[in-house]
């Protein structure tokens, strides 16, 4: 009898534990069903026919459409706002379903190594073209590594690889090592671009893995729009250098936005320290009085702004409101840091940057970037080289903005925002402030990705 009682208790405990972990998944599903019911696909389609989408950047346009799809009706907006914390909490705690249970998309991307080898060649004569044709045909027929096939073709013909790659004095082993390094670097760049775009797309629990020497496997649970995913993953990476707006100007705009959201009449008056003056209020009272600053945490000493991962959607909805748009200068652009900062209890915060919308330069002028260790400080740095056109423009930009920050932006995500110390001539720049070698390597990859 005692044995049976123990078994029953064990079974009941297992059932209770299962229900505990399954309940958030059930909750999340019910919330999404309710939102879909309140919005309605038919109503959404009808709305788009009579309300053209305003001119926005690609990322803002995608978010605008997604926001309309769920929140355009007053009922669904009210329901979401009343249950926002519960919806987010349930979504975070729900069981992560894989492609087999949830459905989604499985995508295999491949770096075009043969094209890369053709572009890298310093001399393209008839012999080289014949070799590349053979390599391309064999690679398609056998799925073999193009680099191995290239080496075989050169050795069979008794031709040194240095005739087309590297220094003329390099032996075949050294040239092959160089080509493999370049291939790995190309795949790393592609991985970072894909990861950044998937993060911005908002897919829950994506899987991005390298397969072999040149393939990237991407799994996107819950995603079914094939054309959107293809456009997301196949577009050319855009690297831009953008000036940050002055902190005092940004804080005034933040205050104006907060006033509009709080329903205050005077949107021009700015308080000096909103957070410190309201420390006695509860979080709920503060959110009602300062809805913007309840989402955007501003450091009063530095002016740096941060947004919790769970509040990014809320901030985007705020910024898309027509009354808020009216108090934001037309040359302002809001961008997030590419990577979050993880604070107490694992909470993730993204830095919010306000930059000049038009870039000073694009990645087309960058010729190379490498992570190194500064011999004088033993700190990680990134060295960046530009072509002659970029060097001239970079000298003008840095000379006119000493003491200001320039954001390094890849696909609308900020990877670094260093301070300009002096006018930079000759096209060779040194970027400091990385916390680790890994961070420096990532920035170098980003700079090369947009080149």
Q: CA-to-CA distance for 310 and 347, rounded, in angstroms?
A: 9
User: Which pLDDT band holds residue 78 (cuts at 50, 70, 90)?
Assistant: low
More confident residue, 169 or 266: 169
Portion of the chain with pLDDT greater than 90, in percent: 37
The conformation of residue 428, written as its DSSP 8-state character, comes to E
User: Which pLDDT band holds residue 301 (cuts at 50, 70, 90)?
Assistant: confident
Q: Which distant-in-sequence residues (6+ apart) come within 8 Å of 31 by Cβ?
A: 83, 86, 87, 90
Contact 239, 410 (CB under 8 A): yes
Q: Is the pLDDT of residue 384 over 60?
A: yes
Indicate the burial class of 286 (C-beta count within 10 angstroms; 0-12, 13-18, 19 or more): middle
Q: Work out the end-to-end distance of the chain between its first and last CA atoms, rounded to an integer number of angstroms.
A: 74
User: What Å distances lie between residue 421 and 13, 371, 399, 404, 431, CA to CA?
Assistant: 63, 19, 9, 8, 10
pLDDT in tens, 234-291: 767 789 999 999 999 999 999 999 999 998 655 444 444 554 445 556 777 888 889 9
Q: What is the DSSP string of 344-403?
A: GGG-EEEEEEEEESS-SEEGGGEEEEEEEE-TTT--EEEEEEE-HHHHHHHHHHHHH-TT
Beta strands in 75-133 (DSSP E): 104-110
Partners of 240 in beta bridges: 362, 409
Portion of the chain with pLDDT greater than 70, in percent: 73
Which has the closest alpha carbon to 368: 382, 383, 385, 381?
385
**Assigned token pair, 234:** 């196949």
Encode burial over 220-243: b for 16+ CB neighbours within 10 A, e otherwise: bbebeeeeebeebbeeebbbbbbb
Residue with tokens 């002096």: 422
Q: CA-to-CA distance for 406 and 364, rounded, in angstroms?
A: 17
Q: CA-to-CA distance for 127 and 21, rounded, in angstroms?
A: 64
Q: CA-to-CA distance for 279 and 276, rounded, in angstroms?
A: 6
The alpha carbons of the chain give a radius of gyration, in whole angstroms, of 27
- What is the pTM (predicted TM-score) of this model? 0.66
| Residue 40 confidence (pLDDT) | 53
Q: Is the pLDDT of residue 347 over 80?
A: yes
Indicate the burial class of 93 (C-beta count within 10 angstroms; 0-12, 13-18, 19 or more): middle
User: What Å distances lie between residue 276 and 169, 263, 350, CA to CA?
Assistant: 67, 21, 22
**Region label for 40, one of left (φ > 0), alpha (ψ between -120 and 50) or beta (otherwise):** left
User: Which pLDDT band holds residue 173 (cuts at 50, 70, 90)?
Assistant: very high
Contact 365, 388 (CB under 8 A): no
**Domains with residue ranges and CATH for the chain:** 2-94 (no CATH), 96-232 (no CATH), 247-356 (no CATH), 360-449 (3.30.1360.200)
Q: CA-to-CA distance for 370 and 405, rounded, in angstroms?
A: 21
């Amino acid at each position: 009898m005692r044995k049976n009682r123990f078994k029953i208790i064990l079974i009941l405990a297992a059932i209770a534990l299962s229900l505990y972990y399954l309940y958030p998944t059930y909750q999340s599903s019910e919330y999404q069903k309710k939102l879909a019911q309140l919005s309605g696909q038919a109503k959404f389609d009808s709305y788009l026919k009579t309300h053209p989408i305003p001119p926005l950047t690609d990322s803002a346009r995608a978010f605008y459409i997604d926001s309309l799809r769920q929140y355009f009706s007053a009922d669904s907006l009210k329901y979401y706002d009343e249950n926002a914390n519960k919806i987010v909490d349930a979504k975070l705690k729900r069981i992560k379903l894989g492609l087999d249970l949830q459905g989604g998309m499985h995508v295999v991307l491949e770096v075009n190594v043969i094209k890369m080898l053709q572009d890298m060649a310093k001399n393209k004569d008839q012999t080289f073209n014949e070799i590349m044709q053979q390599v391309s045909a064999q690679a398609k027929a056998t799925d073999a590594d193009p680099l191995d096939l290239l080496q075989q073709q050169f050795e069979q013909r008794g031709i040194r690889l240095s005739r087309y790659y590297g220094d003329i004095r390099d032996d075949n082993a050294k040239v092959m090592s160089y080509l493999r390094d370049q291939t790995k670097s190309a795949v790393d760049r592609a991985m970072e671009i894909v990861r950044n775009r998937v993060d911005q797309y908002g897919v829950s629990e994506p899987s991005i893995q390298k397969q072999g020497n040149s393939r990237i496997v991407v799994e996107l649970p819950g995603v079914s729009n094939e054309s959107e995913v293809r456009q997301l993953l196949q577009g050319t990476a855009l690297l831009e250098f953008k000036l940050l707006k002055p902190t005092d100007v940004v804080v005034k705009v933040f205050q104006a936005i907060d006033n509009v959201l709080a329903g205050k009449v005077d949107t021009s008056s700015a308080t000096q320290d909103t957070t410190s003056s309201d420390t006695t209020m509860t979080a709920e009272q503060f959110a009602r009085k300062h809805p913007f600053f309840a989402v955007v945490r501003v450091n009063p000493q530095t002016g740096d702004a941060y947004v919790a991962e769970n509040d990014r959607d809320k901030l985007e909805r705020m910024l898309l409101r027509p009354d808020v748009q009216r108090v934001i200068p037309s040359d302002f652009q809001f961008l997030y840091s590419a990577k979050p900062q993880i604070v107490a209890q694992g909470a993730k915060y993204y830095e919010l940057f306000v930059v000049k919308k038009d870039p000073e330069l694009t990645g087309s002028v960058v010729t190379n970037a490498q992570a190194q260790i500064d011999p004088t400080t033993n700190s990680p740095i990134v060295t960046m080289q530009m072509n002659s056109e970029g060097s001239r423009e970079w000298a003008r930009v840095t000379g006119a903005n000493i003491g200001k920050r320039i954001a390094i932006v890849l696909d609308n995500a900020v990877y670094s925002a260093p301070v300009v110390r002096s006018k930079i001539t000759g096209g060779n720049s040194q970027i400091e402030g990385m916390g680790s070698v890994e961070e420096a390597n990532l920035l170098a990859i980003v700079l090369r990705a947009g080149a």
